[in-house]
Every structure is written in C-alpha cells, then in structure tokens.
Structure 1
Amino acid sequence: MSSIQAQPAAEGHVVLVVNAGSSSIKCSVYRVIEDDHVEGGARALHGAGGQIEGIGVAPRVVAHMADGRLIVDEKFPVAQVADHDAAFRLLRLVLAVGLRDTPPAAIGHRVVHGGARYSDAVLINDEVIEELDSLTPLAPLHQPHNLAAIRAVRQAAPELPQVACFDTAFHATTGPMAQLFALPYSYYTEGIRRYGFHGLSYEYIAKHMHLVAPDIARGRVIVAHLGNGASLCAMKDGKSVETTMGLTALDGLPMGTRCGALDAGAVLWMMARGMDYHAIEKLLYQESGLKGLSGVSSDMRELLSNGSEQAKLAIDFYTYRIAQEVGKLAVGLGGLDGLVFTAGIGEHAAPIRAQVCERLAPLFGIVLDAQANEAGREARKERVSARESRVPVFAIPTDEEGMIALHTARLLREALKR
C-alpha cells in the first residue's frame, strides 16, 4: 500500500499543493495526518483538486471534489485568464467550494531548481524568492511560472505560509563524480555542476518501493521518469547516486521538445552562424526532442499512432537513448536489481517499456510479462516483468504533489513548534 493514499480523514493539516507549468496551473488539496506505520511518520490523503490549462491561449478550468464529483469544467475568454496571476485567482475561487469546510493551513509549491543552496524544502520569504529568481536562466521553461504562482499567492492570501519543494533536492546525496563537469574546478565551487531534476517523483517512487518490494528497494534501482520531460535516476537504498539531467533540465535523454545531451560544439556552431541566445534557447528547449526529430508532435501517443518513418525514427532514438543511459547508470551502481518506469509515458506507454526492455535484455536478462505490461497501470499491475526475468521491472504511478504535501506539512509542524 502506498504511503500517499486517497481516502477521507478528519484530522491533520490541510495543504494546498500548487504545480505551475508554462501554460497551466494544477492545484490539489491534501490532508496530511500522522501515521507511525509509514516511513516519515505521515501520510498525505488526496482531496479536492483542479487545474487550469491553456492560460492566455484557450483557458479551461476543471475541478473535482475529493469523492470525484465534478465542481466545474468550463472554458473562459482569453482576456479573463491572460496570465498566471489571473489563473491562480480563478482556480482558488473554484476550489473554495472544495475547501469550504477545510481551509488550507499552508501552500506547497513545486519549484524546479533549488541550486546549490537548497537541499530540502524551505519556507518562502523575500530572500528565498530572490535566490530562486536568480536561478531562472537554469530553468527557463519552469522557474518563472513556479515563481509567478508563489507571487500570486502572496498577493491573494499573504497570511498563508508557503513552502518551496525542489526537484533538485533529492539529488543532494550524489557525490562529486556525479556532479562534476571537466571545467576548471572554480566553476564547480561557483555552482556550475550537475544537479538533476524530477526529484519529487523519484522521492515518491523510492518510498513506494520500500513498501512494495523492500529487498529490491534496498538494492540498486534505476527509475525512468518518462513524461514530456524525461530523466533517469540511479538509487542505492532509496538514495540518489546518479541521474541523467545536469546543470539544467535540458541535459540527458531526448524529451518532448528538449534535445537532451548535446555536444557543446553544436552550440558554438549555431553562434558562429549568427544565432543569438534567445534563438538557441528556443531551438533547444521548444523545437527539438521528439517534436524536432519526428516533425510530427512532442506527444508520444500521437507518435505511436502516426506510423510515419519520421515518427518511428524519433521513437527508436528515444528508446535507444533510454537503454543506453540505463547501462551507463548501472555502471555507477555496480549492477542492477530493479527497473521502474513512471510518469505519463512510463506509466501508460506499454510499447515504449517493451522496446526499452528488449534493448536491455542481452545485458540484464530482462524478460517482460507481455500481458502484465499491456495491462499496466489500468489493471494495477505494478510488476510487469516475467518470473524468469533476472531484473524485475515495475510500472508505478508517481505522486509529486503528495510529496509536496508531506514536505509542506512537515515544515509547518516544525514552525509551529518553534
């Protein structure tokens, strides 16, 4: 059973979790209760939730109660939801129905980059906002929107404590070999190092694996977080040892629109051709990856159903690079005891799991259970490998928002004790 469960409760801190993207804001209500039977001593129970998408383009709000009843599903004029401030105010009004009897004690935010300073969640103040703003060049697709949500909350509800939870924090356990670039060492001391991302997702999977497969979780596990953004994390005993992303969320695997690992000389070549910073940034972050290779879409569902040679090329390269990086991370771990797929593609795309595992079979003796792999999450089949597989394989839904709720409630409790 997961440490983050969806069931009613009548005690504990109510936390509103905000996950702000480039064109959407997702809000989820959690009640965090103490429970000595789970790691960390607390569970986060999911309640009402909602999201607004298409901000500034085609705004749509969808929200539901804790029992699944729909609160609203409505489209709005662009002028009414032109930016993140307006979107958050609207979404907060909508969720007020679900929060009517249980106003939140605090708000937790997903923040992509915490830099070298923040290796744990932190209560937000002016100094924290200024520090996080300085990291925007390292996460241009995410950091501005994370901060916009924080500022919107400060304006709408200044009395509410806010907590920043970082995608980089989980990887603070990696050592110098996983962090260094072969640049002059002074750059490392100034913060130019490999940080890693998707840490909230990896933290959840690490906790979940300790519950469902403790022997494997204590060993050498590689987790593949495959969504529009994609990365891998190598863990020993639930701690991050190595990951594929680096200084920014641009490195490592090819992603929906991001290029992944790239020879730095290619950027120098672009500059020599006259491309400026903004043109290169747009190319690498928004026009590359699956979208750039396929010329079709960044959406894996569309690529799998497309059938064109370019779509197939993009998929083949994607799975090739994933398998290649699994091999690299296994070297850092000294072997492999378990492989986990998570996030949108990892949870739902059975053909991608199959293709990656087929590439890894000669090295690790992986054998999928075809029926379990096809059923996947829909049949709650978390283990998708066959009995004879030397390395067990899992497909597990992640819960980044649940982890944010747990961290937020923890800091709130610590603050109240002071």
Structure 2
Amino acid sequence: MLDTTSLNRGSLLVLNSGSSSVKFTAFRVGAGAGQVAPLFSGQLAGIGTDARLSARSADGDVIADESWAKRDSGSVPALLPGLLAWIEGHLPADLPLLGAGHRVVHGGRNLHRPAVITDEVLEELERIIPLAPLHEPQNVAAIEVLKESRPDLPQVACFDTAFHHTQPPVCSTYAIPRHLSEAGVHRYGFHGLSYEYIARYLGENLPDLAQGRVVVAHLGNGSSLCGLKNGVSIDTSMGFSVLEGVPMGTRCGSLDPGVIIYLMRKYDMDADELERLLYHQSGLLGVSGVSNDMRVLEESDDPHCKLAVDLFCLRVAKEVASLACSIGGLDGLVFTAGIGENGKGIRARICEHLDWLGIRLDPERNAARADLVSAEGSLPVRVISTNEEFMIALHTVDLLTAGVAD
C-alpha cells in the first residue's frame, strides 16, 4: 500500500477495459487524499480488427496516434502488457506508477463499495460474471493481466453498481417469486460512478440543490437516469442488466417480457440470438435502420430516424417523471454524458415534454451549452460534465493510502 510520502511523487492508472477496446487515464497524485490531476488519457481501440492507439495530454495535445495492427492478436488481454509498458514509458520519470484503478461494471450483492483487489475479491468477481457476461469478463481479465505482469502493483476495483446500493427494496425489487429475488435477481442499477461524480459536484458547488430531489440523465450510447435525494441514489432506470430503461444506441431499453417469449416460440431464437438482438441490433439503430449515432439521426430526413429520436426523447422524459415520483418531487434536472452534455436539440425536445412539471429551457443558454440552461422561473436544468475516471482515481488513492479495503 501507499504511504503518505508517496503522494508527492507518484502516479495512478485508471483502466476501463471492454471487449475490443481499453480506455485509460494516468493521474498525478497530489499532496493529500482527494487530490489527483490527469497527466494524459487515451484508448486502444479496434482490437480484433485494426487496433489503434490514440492518446492526448491533459492539455489536449496529441501524444499518440498509431496503428497497433501488427501486434493485434484479437485479444484485449494479450495487448494489455504492451499497453502498460507504453503508459509507463510516457509517465514522467519522477512519477512512478503506484497503483491501478479499474472500472468494473458489476459488484453483485456483496461488493457495494470500491475494493482493493485481493484473491478473495477476484474470486467473487469471477463468481458473478453471469450477472454481466458481456462486460465483467473484460474487466476481470484486465485485473488478472496486471496481477500477473505486475504482481506488486496494488489494484482497486470500482463498481458501477455500488452507488445504487442505497436504493430501498421498493425500488430495487422485481415482482417475481421471492426465492429468485433472494438469489440475486433484482434491480442493481449502473452508471454509478457517473452519478457519484455528479452528486459530489452538486455537494461541492450547489449544496442547496444537492440536498434536494434531483434527477440526473446520463445520456450517451448507453443511457440511464437516476433519482437522487440528498445526494443518495433512490431509484434508477437500469435494473438487473444494462438493457432496462430508455432506448440506447443499440440496446432496446425496457421491453415487455412477453416479446422475448414470443420471439423464442415464433422464431426459435436461443439465448445468444436474443442477446445479439437486444444488446447490439436494437435501440436507435434498430428503430432507424440507419445508425446508433444520435448526430447522424438528427441530421437525417429519413422518417425512421425521426421516429428513433422522438422515441428516445419521449422515453427519457417519461423516466424523469417516473423518478420524480420515486424521490417525492423534483427540485432540479441534470444532463450529463455524451448526448446529455452535447445534444442541445435532444435536451430541448426532452424538456418540451416536461413543461407540465415546470421545466422550460432558455434557447440561448441551451444553444451555448451554459451550466444553467433553464429559463427564468423554471425548475433548474443544468448541464454538468461527468468524470468517472476522476472518481476511480479518488477511490484508488483513498483505499491504497488507507491500506485497507472497506
């Protein structure tokens, strides 16, 4: 573990490993807990087809844009040691790597706060892979590769489900037989690191709003919403998996379970076929038949693209209203993530559906992407950039300097 004298002379690595890409950020550790600053960030993308490394400094300067196709064996774990070597080679000489923090999609029922990776934690992560079979194996593989190649490097896992552990049973329970709920079939929620960052930001910068009832809309290729009360997660749109809730880039969002039964009987679809359909062929892509990119859909004259956009905006607005019910009212709305932060037209369309709740945007503020985009007299509507990597870095520093896993 780290000692306090290491805090002025070290760096941390944050990794987010997927099935065909690895995103990374290197942080300088400051002079005390809670003080981290980015050095550079990037990603190794296209693994399995045409791997390419790109990276930028904290100031936005390009420090890498190179093909890794010759090294690409189609496996993320196979490329991780080389990526780690590249990262360490670009760290300042006086800032050795002190530890690594990982974004891990699922913590299951037992891992509901960040944890230092031990053999026991790793065993638990491997045990709960069936809860997130498309994401968890990639997260675990990255941890195992670093454990093998750098056995002395401390590692911390930060879970996207952890922030939602505060939700009451009435919001986390499905109406299914109790023995299934007790076996772990319930609503976990995701994007927790993003919501945790927004809650922290509100607490530090807008304390009055932070103590109230806020719905946060994390809208990107993967989208969800969360109802916060006094900075605590009460309810969220995603549930057992990342499929539930609003339509996303290629995911269906909430769907009548009867549709699944129908597809199995009518088209003889098995689990793998259903998984491909619901995770990769649905959502904005499925409805439009054109793209999962909201920018492409907004610019298109195709009526199916218009339907995809309209459907997304209405479903997000309905989710805002639903979450307002769960948290007992609404004192503010926050947009974040790629579409939430950059999609001025999408924000406007969503808020048009919410006029009855007292939500109205100021067109000029919204077009300028101001921090406060609502009109005078409206409930406050804010646009706040999320920073999940920052939260992972903070948790990593806190745990490794404490020397214990809470």
Q: TM-score, normalised by structure 2?
A: 0.94
User: SS of the residue aligned with 2:398?
Assistant: helix
Q: Distance in 2 between matches of 1:299 and 1:210?
A: 33
2:48 partner letter? G
Partner residue, 1:349: 343
Within the candidate set 370, 380, 384, 2:373 is matched to 384
Is 1:410 equivalent to 2:394 in the alignment? no
1:302 partner letter? V
Deviation at 1:14, TM superposition (A): 2.2
Conservation of the 8 A alpha-carbon contact between 2:116 and 2:404: no
Within the candidate set 27, 40, 44, 1:48 is matched to 40
Partner residue, 1:144: 137
Q: Distance in 2 between matches of 1:87 and 1:373?
A: 42
1:227 partner letter? G
Within the candidate set 271, 278, 285, 1:277 is matched to 271
2:213 partner letter? R
User: CA 1:216 to 1:299, structure 2 compared with 1: closer, same or farther past 3 Å?
Assistant: same
Q: Distance in 2 between matches of 1:318 and 1:30?
A: 36
Conservation of the 8 A alpha-carbon contact between 1:361 and 1:367: yes
Conservation of the 8 A alpha-carbon contact between 2:116 and 2:405: no
User: SS of the residue aligned with 1:42?
Assistant: coil
Within the candidate set 92, 106, 114, 1:121 is matched to 114
Deviation at 1:82, TM superposition (A): 2.2
- Written as runs of structure 1 = structure 2, the 5 A alignment for 1:205-224 is 205-224=198-217
Deviation at 1:415, TM superposition (A): 1.0
Is 1:293 equivalent to 2:287 in the alignment? yes
User: SS of the residue aligned with 1:259?
Assistant: coil
Q: Distance in 1 between matches of 2:40 and 2:73?
A: 22
Q: Distance in 2 between matches of 1:138 and 1:20?
A: 17
Partner residue, 2:72: 80
Is 1:199 equivalent to 2:187 in the alignment? no
Deviation at 1:143, TM superposition (A): 1.2
Conservation of the 8 A alpha-carbon contact between 1:338 and 1:392: yes
Q: Distance in 2 between matches of 1:289 and 1:30?
A: 35
Deviates more, 1:49-58 or 1:166-175: 49-58
Is 1:96 equivalent to 2:88 in the alignment? yes
Conservation of the 8 A alpha-carbon contact between 2:7 and 2:31: no
Q: Distance in 2 between matches of 1:252 and 1:84?
A: 29
1:135 partner letter? I
Partner residue, 1:155: 148
- Written as runs of structure 1 = structure 2, the 5 A alignment for 1:324-339 is 324-339=318-333
Q: Distance in 2 between matches of 1:112 and 1:61?
A: 23
Deviation at 1:416, TM superposition (A): 7.0
| Offset from partner CA, 1:16-57 (integer Å, 9 cap, x none) | 00011222101101234356xxxxx61321112221111111
Q: Distance in 2 between matches of 1:83 and 1:417?
A: 31
Is 1:109 equivalent to 2:102 in the alignment? yes
Partner residue, 2:3: none
| Offset from partner CA, 1:246-301 (integer Å, 9 cap, x none) | 11111111111111111111111122131111111111111111111110111111
User: CA 1:311 to 1:393, structure 2 compared with 1: closer, same or farther past 3 Å?
Assistant: same
Deviates more, 1:196-205 or 1:64-73: 64-73
| Offset from partner CA, 1:223-264 (integer Å, 9 cap, x none) | 000111110000011100000111111111111111111111
| Offset from partner CA, 1:321-357 (integer Å, 9 cap, x none) | 0001111110111110010000111111111100000
| Offset from partner CA, 1:147-201 (integer Å, 9 cap, x none) | 1211221222121111110000000110000111111112222111101000000
1:153 partner letter? L
User: SS of the residue aligned with 1:96?
Assistant: helix
Q: Distance in 1 between matches of 2:46 and 2:20?
A: 5
Q: Distance in 2 between matches of 1:123 and 1:175?
A: 27
User: SS of the residue aligned with 1:105?
Assistant: strand
Conservation of the 8 A alpha-carbon contact between 2:7 and 2:29: no
| Structure 1: gaps spanning 5 or more residues | 1-8, 36-40
Conservation of the 8 A alpha-carbon contact between 1:256 and 1:291: yes
Q: Distance in 1 between matches of 2:352 and 2:376?
A: 16
1:181 partner letter? Y
Q: Percent identity?
A: 48
| Offset from partner CA, 1:363-387 (integer Å, 9 cap, x none) | x1111111111121xxxx2111112
2:302 partner letter? S
Partner residue, 1:3: none
Partner residue, 1:26: 23
Q: Distance in 2 between matches of 1:294 and 1:66?
A: 37
Conservation of the 8 A alpha-carbon contact between 2:114 and 2:158: yes
User: SS of the residue aligned with 1:71?
Assistant: strand
Q: Distance in 2 between matches of 1:413 and 1:205?
A: 24
Deviation at 1:98, TM superposition (A): 2.6
How big is the alpha-carbon RMSD for the aligned residues of Structure 1 and Structure 2? 1.9
Conservation of the 8 A alpha-carbon contact between 1:108 and 1:165: yes
Q: Distance in 2 between matches of 1:86 and 1:318?
A: 38
